[in-house]
Structure 1
Amino acid sequence: MKFTAYLAGEIHTSWREELTEKAKALDLPLEFVGPMTDHDRSDNIGELVMGLQSNAIAKDEAASQINNLRTQLLIKQSDLVIALFGEQYKQWNTAMDASAAITLQKPLILIRPEKLHHPLKELSNKANVTVENVNQALKVLSYVLE
C-alpha cells in the first residue's frame, strides 16, 4: 500500500528534496505532495487566473484563495502531514497547514529544532509526533510503515 504525505513548511530550502530522496532510498511506500514551491507562481496565480488586480492587497487575496484551495484539497487527500518549522523564515503558512491537519484529523509529524520548542509547544502537543530533524521524521516513518 502506498501512502501520500503532504509536506508543509517553508519553500526556500531543499528539505523536501532531502526527505523525498531519503524516503526513496529507504524504499518507503510514500508519495509526496505539498504547496506550490515556485514562489513567483504562487504569488501571481490570482492575477494569472482572474486578471490584473487593483492593488497589492487584492492581488494577495486572489492568490490566497487559489493557494488555500490547493492546500485544502491536497491535505484532505493525504494520509499524513509532515510540517517542518525551520529557523530562518517566518512560518505562518506552516502553522496554518499543521492546524488544518489537526482539524481534519490527519496524522501529523512536526519537525522543529529544539530552539522553537517554546513558541510551538501547543501545536507540538497536538501533533502525533514531534521531532527535531528530517532524519528523525524518516525514522518514525520507517518504523510506522514496517
Structure 2
Amino acid sequence: MALNVYLSGEIHTDWRDQIIAGADGLDVAFTAPVTDHDASDDCGVAILGAEPDKFWHDRKGASMNAIRTRKAIADADVVVVRFGEKYRQWNAAFDAGYAAALGKSLIVLHGPDHAHALKEVDAAALAVAQEPRQVVEILRYVLTGALPG
C-alpha cells in the first residue's frame, strides 16, 4: 500500500520537514502548498498583472493557490492540517473542511491551547495529534500495522 499525503497549514515552522524525514522508508508521497509566503501572496499579480487594490491583489493569489490546493487535496489519501501557535490560519481551517467534505482521511495537528477553538475541526478528523512524530507514527501504523516502539 502507498499513501499520498497533503500537508496543509502553517508555514512558519519545520513541522513538514519533521514528518517527511520521519516517514523516510515508508511508501508515502507528500505534497504541500507553496510555503514561500511572498511567492504565495504575489503569484497572482506576478502572472496575471498588477492590482492597485490590495483586495484584488490578494484575491488573485488566493485563487491561483486554490487551484494547487484543490488538486492536492483531491489526490490525497490523507490530509494533515497543522494549526500553529502564532497566527490564525483561516486557510488551514478551510482546507480541513474541504478535505472532510470530500471524505478524505483527516489528521489535525495542533497544541493543547487550540483544543477548544478547533473542537469542530477536531471532531471531523480521524486523529488529532500534538506532535509531528505522532503523525509519522499514524502513517507508519496505517502502512505497516506496526506500533511505536
TM-score, normalised with respect to structure 2:
0.92
The runs of 5 or more residues in structure 2 that have no matched partner are 145-149
- Equivalent residue for 1:46, pick from 41, 44, 47: 44
Q: In the alignment, what sits opposite 2:142?
A: 144
3-state secondary structure, aligned to 1:110? strand
**Distance in structure 1 (CA, Å) of the matches to 2:111 and 2:27:** 26
**Distance in structure 2 (CA, Å) of the matches to 1:11 and 1:71:** 14
Q: What pairs up with 1:1-146 in 2 under 5 angstroms?
A: 1-24=1-24, 27-146=25-144
Cα RMSD over matched residues?
1.0
**Distance in structure 2 (CA, Å) of the matches to 1:13 and 1:108:** 20
Q: CA deviation at 1:113?
A: 1.0
CA deviation profile, 1:57-99 (whole Å, cap 9, x unmatched): 1101111110111100111011110111121222111111111
CA deviation profile, 1:21-71 (whole Å, cap 9, x unmatched): 1111xx211011011111111111111121111211110111111011110
**Distance in structure 2 (CA, Å) of the matches to 1:62 and 1:94:** 18
**Distance in structure 2 (CA, Å) of the matches to 1:57 and 1:20:** 35
3-state secondary structure, aligned to 2:117? helix
Q: CA deviation at 1:8?
A: 0.6
Tell me the amino acid that sits aligned with residue 3 of structure 1.
L
The runs of 5 or more residues in structure 1 that have no matched partner are none
TM-score, normalised with respect to structure 1:
0.94
